[in-house]
């Protein structure tokens, strides 16, 4: 009887730990928009542990890596990366992309954690771009 109780308790602990890790798993939100003279995308990582992160976007024929990494520390658990063809947004820190980079209407993104020279994939996502072309 004691063995069954211990086995049952261990099952509950294991299932609880698995559920907790699934809730705390990193997630990625990808958004994009295409206009006649502009492409823009944002990649937002959430539920991230402390560390250095970098995002890459792809349009299916080419990739663009974010211009810099973002450090997540303390209470923060998010990293946001912007990609844009608008010169004002690039001057404000967005990574430059060609104005027709998203003309195909979709973008995929990957978020990696960087530890020295080692990159580890943390999350991946994809989005259909909002089409605001005339």
Residue-wise pLDDT tens for the chain (134 aa)?
A: 545 544 444 444 443 333 334 446 899 999 999 999 999 999 999 999 999 999 999 999 999 999 889 999 887 899 999 999 999 999 999 999 999 999 999 999 999 999 988 999 999 999 999 999 98
* CA atoms within 13 A of residue 52's CA, in its CB half-sphere: 9
Q: Return the domain boundaries, the chain.
A: 26-131
pTM of the model: 0.80
pLDDT at residue number 21: 40
95 CB neighbour count, 10 Å cutoff: 20
In this structure, the strands spanning 130-131 and 27-35 are parallel
CB 107 within 8 A of CB 129: yes
Whether domain 26-131 has CATH 2.60.40: the reply is yes
User: What pLDDT does residue 34 have?
Assistant: 96
Q: In terms of Cα–Cα distance, which of 32, 42, 55, 30 is closest to 103?
A: 32
SS3 14: helix
């Amino acid at each position: 009887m004691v063995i069954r109780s211990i086995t049952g308790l261990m099952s509950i602990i294991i299932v609880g730990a698995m559920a907790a890790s699934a809730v705390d798993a990193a997630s990625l939100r990808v958004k994009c928009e295409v206009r006649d003279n502009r492409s823009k995308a944002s990649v937002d990582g959430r539920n991230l542990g402390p560390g250095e992160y970098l995002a890459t976007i792809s349009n299916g024929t080419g990739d663009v890596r974010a211009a810099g990494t973002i450090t997540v520390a303390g209470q923060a658990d998010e990293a946001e990366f912007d990609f844009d063809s608008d010169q004002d947004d690039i001057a404000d820190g967005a990574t430059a992309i060609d104005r027709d980079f998203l003309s195909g209407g979709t973008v995929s993104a990957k978020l990696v954690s960087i530890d020295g020279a080692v990159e580890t994939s943390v999350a991946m996502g994809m989005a259909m771009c909002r089409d605001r072309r005339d």
